[in-house]
């Protein structure tokens, strides 16, 4: 029996037509699925509007029937943000996937929210322009989801998070009205920044329908290296050295624990070990330049020689071909998949000031080992941004279910240390429902009061993505 009031499906069907709505169990099953299996979607209806007007009218119809809407992009989020309950309607933006304009004088792209991230990157590349947001899910996630979660990814150290890459938005508000904030302006100090309010709001304040994005000159040169480093502290010193040596030419700087590296090269097909050296810590560094005459290979060789000479690295290799570069990135990006072969994994997407990363790793590993003897730390991540995916694989002898039952207690231990170091319990994945209670625990009373006040002001009836963030 449907949990939705009579008539609402008819009204939505009339508005959206057969392509714009589904109650098909198979279609719903894929959109109700949540990748980590921590939450179960229960939506009985999904909408696929094809225009901003259809989104706005769908929202108005649902509002009239007092039904909540959960916006959904590529459903690759890590915090259960795009998961709907039984009396809620899923609204997926995938049919709104047009690249509306690429402007090679303003260096902007204006796109619909359902455009896949990789499609945007490719379209910009055809104009010899770069949209630098890049992450493992880029073939599936949508730009609307990227902006709604303020996604980070691999190139934040150089270009910033999704927030820094967005100039303007069009948003459907909870009452069905449309705020047109599309803009190519680089400077606009006219009051509260509404754009930034919707970015990172995870669909709790409005449904992003279009965006104007910042573009950059396409890199002409790339140089990528894999290094063995003695410790995380050396990795941080190496980062500082590399920033100065290259004039902030670093596009990515990733730290990878020995365990994470070993799992990738062991379990994933076709990958080769970059170095013969066995080490507890690895660094992947990539330099890029848009200047035609730059010689990044020589710059990187100089940097690595210097690093080895002063003891910040013990071994290093530079990719000599695109194939070798792809191998290095596949090792890094394959870690979450490879970890699945070693049983249960308890994960933390956290950040601290870059200089505190060694303290975080040291204290976190000690505390986790005291809580769950035999636990196997598997940290890796965007250390250039102070962002560690502080994952822990289960002890070898433990049952997976017993281990995963410790998820919250381990989270508390790690999050306490993160908070003590002035860090964030969610670096780039957002809050969703996974970290909602943790946010309330670690945020100040003043911050929580402001978050609730903003939600109540823009969505007084809590009809947009209720139960997420606050």
Q: Which stretch binds ligand FAD (CB under 6 A): 217-225, 323-331, 403-411, 427-435?
A: 427-435
Q: How many residues lie near ligand FAD (CB under 6 A)?
A: 36
Q: Which one of 47, 56, 68, 137 is in contact with ligand FAD (CB under 6 A)?
A: 137
Which residue number, 137 or 303, has a Cβ lying nearer to ligand FAD?
A: 137
Instruction: Report, in Å, the least distance between residue 250 CB and ligand FAD.
Output: 17
Site residues (CB under 6 A) for ligand FAD, limited to 35-64: 35
Q: Which one of 145, 168, 174, 181 is in contact with ligand FAD (CB under 6 A)?
A: 145
Site residues (CB under 6 A) for ligand FAD, limited to 196-215: 202-203, 207-208
Check residue 136 for interaction with ligand FAD (CB under 6 A). yes
Contacts of 25 (CB under 8 A, 6+ apart): none
Instruction: Report, in Å, the least distance between residue 213 CB and ligand FAD.
Output: 14
Check residue 428 for interaction with ligand FAD (CB under 6 A). yes
Contacts of 156 (CB under 8 A, 6+ apart): 382, 384, 385, 387, 428
Which residue number, 151 or 361, has a Cβ lying nearer to ligand FAD?
A: 151
Taking CB positions, which residue lies at the least distance from ligand FAD?
145
Which residue number, 45 or 413, has a Cβ lying nearer to ligand FAD?
A: 45
Q: Which one of 61, 113, 213, 255 is in contact with ligand FAD (CB under 6 A)?
A: 113
Which residue number, 81 or 316, has a Cβ lying nearer to ligand FAD?
A: 81
Check residue 152 for interaction with ligand FAD (CB under 6 A). yes
Site map 361..390 versus ligand FAD, x via CB under 6 A: ------------------------------
Check residue 149 for interaction with ligand FAD (CB under 6 A). yes
Site map 389..408 versus ligand FAD, x via CB under 6 A: --------------------
Q: Which stretch binds ligand FAD (CB under 6 A): 24-32, 214-222, 284-292, 428-436?
A: 428-436
Site residues (CB under 6 A) for ligand FAD, limited to 61-80: 70-78
Q: Which residues bind ligand FAD (CB under 6 A)?
A: 35, 70-78, 81-82, 93, 113, 135-137, 141-142, 144-146, 148-149, 151-153, 202-203, 207-208, 428-429, 432, 465, 468
């Amino acid at each position: 029996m449907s949990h939705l009031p009579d008539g609402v499906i008819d009204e939505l069907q009339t508005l959206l037509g057969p392509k714009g709505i589904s109650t098909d169990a198979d279609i719903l099953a894929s959109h109700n699925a949540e990748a980590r299996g921590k939450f179960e979607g229960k939506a009985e209806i999904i909408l696929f509007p094809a225009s901003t007007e259809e989104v706005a009218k769908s929202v108005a119809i649902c509002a009239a029937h007092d039904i909540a809407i959960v916006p959904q992009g590529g459903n690759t989020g890590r915090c259960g943000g795009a998961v709907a309950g039984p009396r809620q309607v899923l609204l997926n933006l995938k049919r709104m996937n047009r690249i509306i304009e690429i402007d090679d004088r303003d260096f902007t792209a204006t796109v619909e929210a359902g455009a896949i991230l990789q499609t945007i990157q490719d379209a910009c590349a055809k104009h010899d322009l770069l949209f630098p947001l890049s992450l493992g899910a880029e073939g599936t996630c949508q730009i609307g989801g990227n902006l709604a979660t303020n996604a980070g990814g691999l190139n934040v150290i150089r270009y910033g998070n999704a927030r820094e890459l967005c100039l303007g938005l069009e948003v459907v508000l909870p009452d069905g009205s449309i705020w047109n904030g599309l803009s190519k302006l680089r400077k606009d100090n006219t009051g509260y920044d509404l754009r930034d309010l919707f970015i990172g709001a995870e669909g709790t304040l409005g449904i992003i329908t279009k965006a104007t994005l910042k573009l950059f000159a396409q890199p002409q040169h790339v140089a990528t290296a894999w290094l063995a480093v003695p410790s995380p502290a050396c990795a941080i010193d190496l980062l500082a050295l590399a920033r100065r040596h290259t004039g902030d030419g670093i596009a990515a700087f990733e730290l990878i624990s020995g365990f994470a590296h070993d799992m990738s090269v062991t379990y994933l097909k076709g990958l080769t070990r970059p170095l013969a050296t066995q080490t507890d810590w690895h660094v992947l560094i990539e330099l890029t330049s848009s200047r035609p005459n730059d010689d990044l290979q020589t710059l990187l060789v100089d940097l690595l020689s210097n690093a080895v000479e002063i003891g910040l690295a013990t071994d290093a290799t530079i990719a000599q071909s695109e194939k070798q570069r792809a191998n290095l990135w596949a090792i890094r990006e394959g870690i979450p998949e490879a970890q699945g072969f070693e049983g249960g994994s308890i994960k933390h997407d956290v950040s601290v000031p870059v200089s505190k990363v060694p303290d975080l790793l040291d204290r976190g590993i000690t505390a986790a080992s005291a809580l769950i003897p035999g636990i196997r730390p598997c940290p890796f991540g965007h250390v250039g941004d102070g962002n560690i995916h502080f994952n822990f694989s289960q002890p070898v002898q433990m049952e997976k279910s017993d281990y995963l039952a410790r998820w919250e207690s381990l989270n508390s231990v790690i999050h306490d240390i993160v908070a003590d170091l002035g860090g964030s319990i969610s670096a780039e994945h957002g809050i969703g429902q996974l970290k909602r209670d943790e946010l309330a625990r670690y945020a100040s009373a003043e911050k929580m009061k402001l978050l609730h006040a903003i939600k109540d002001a823009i969505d007084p009836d809590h009809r947009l993505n209720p139960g997420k963030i606050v």
